[in-house]
Chains A and B, each alone.
Chain A
């Protein structure tokens, strides 16, 4: 999507951040916008997920608008 010019941001948990480094570099997009989430997010419950969403929403929007 990013290659096609679609505003994109990858949400990656802390545990998988090194894999994101590897894959983005291997695919020639080391500066691909990424936002780090705590780990785990899946199954962490509505309250925890809401807190995470509130914490990163502005950063995601900034990337998608091209402001970051």
Chain B
């Protein structure tokens, strides 16, 4: 840990801004006392290392993670979720160093599932990705600050995103299991319903997907799936041209009900979306011949390579809009989603 000597917290904040330690917004000053409390909340040794974080290969100690959690404004109770998110992005399958360095506008989207979400106040409904939810905002921000301060991501030097997106400040929500017609999405990653976990996936900002139901029409559920698929296959997306990578779909509660009343399982929805998310090769070739490949122009080219690459779950308030998050679709593992169990066995309650 680097200790700085400042006359007061205002001076310390200016030092941190000047030395590139912040995301551009004010942070909570990580005094030794605050960091110690956050480390204590983890139940782990502050010097324990989770590994090197790319691209700068900084040592990801518990203390370093705790420091960034303090800066982000986390409560000590959030620490297990922050730790799990950090462990998730350190999985080799996530290709973090490559993702941090890409020119594409991708950011790690966190989806928290399981019993921990409710007591922490993690929002899954109206505006879950917007302002106003402390747990969502600060947990997502803690991961971003860790990626900057431990992983070394700096715009224009090691984070080469041409524009980025606001989710690079914070990008965290919970799954709305109460409104979901399906099993919790983290069960598809091998976790149990009783377990808490975080799924992390590289994602663009949400693309709005409008759909108006017609309960009298038996075609309505398929229209919804086609609408989602069309948003995924949009001709400016990497997925359309690279034909790989995970695409995230946050179904709002009303849209989830449309699929639920029709008995459409998550697997059914994933397969249908994959089948509908196509573009004729001739169109891809006309717009972007570099990636169109050889073959007949009439070929229908899938934007999603496998049903499992459609990461679909319920989140967001009631209304007409669901959200699709296209992905970078690159890296050695094609922008894979990863998950990590949230360990609360070791954490302890910190007295006020």
By a beta-carbon cutoff of 8 Å, the part of chain A in contact with chain B is 16, 18-19, 22-23, 26-27
Contacts and interface: CB of A to CB of B under 8 A. Distances in A.
B326 interface: no
23 contacts: A16-B160, A18-B156, A18-B157, A19-B101, A19-B157, A19-B158, A19-B160, A22-B55, A22-B56, A22-B152, A22-B154, A22-B157, A22-B158, A23-B55, A23-B101, A23-B158, A26-B54, A26-B55, A26-B56, A26-B57, A26-B152, A26-B158, A27-B57
Contacts, number: 23
Nearest to A42: B290
Q: Is the interface of A mostly helix, strand, loop or mixed?
A: helix
Interface of B: 54-57, 101, 152, 154, 156-158, 160
A35 to B, nearest CB: 19
A23 to B, nearest CB: 5
B253 to A, nearest CB: 42
Q: Which 9 A-B residue pairs are closest in the complex by CB-CB distance?
A: A22-B158, A26-B56, A26-B57, A18-B157, A23-B55, A22-B157, A19-B160, A26-B55, A19-B158
A26 B152 CA distance: 9
A36 to B, nearest CB: 16
A55 to B, nearest CB: 23
Nearest to A18: B157
B19 to A, nearest CB: 16
Given A16-B160, A19-B101, 17 more contacts: A18-B156, A18-B157, A19-B157, A19-B158, A19-B160, A22-B56, A22-B154, A22-B157, A22-B158, A23-B55, A23-B101, A26-B54, A26-B55, A26-B56, A26-B152, A26-B158, A27-B57
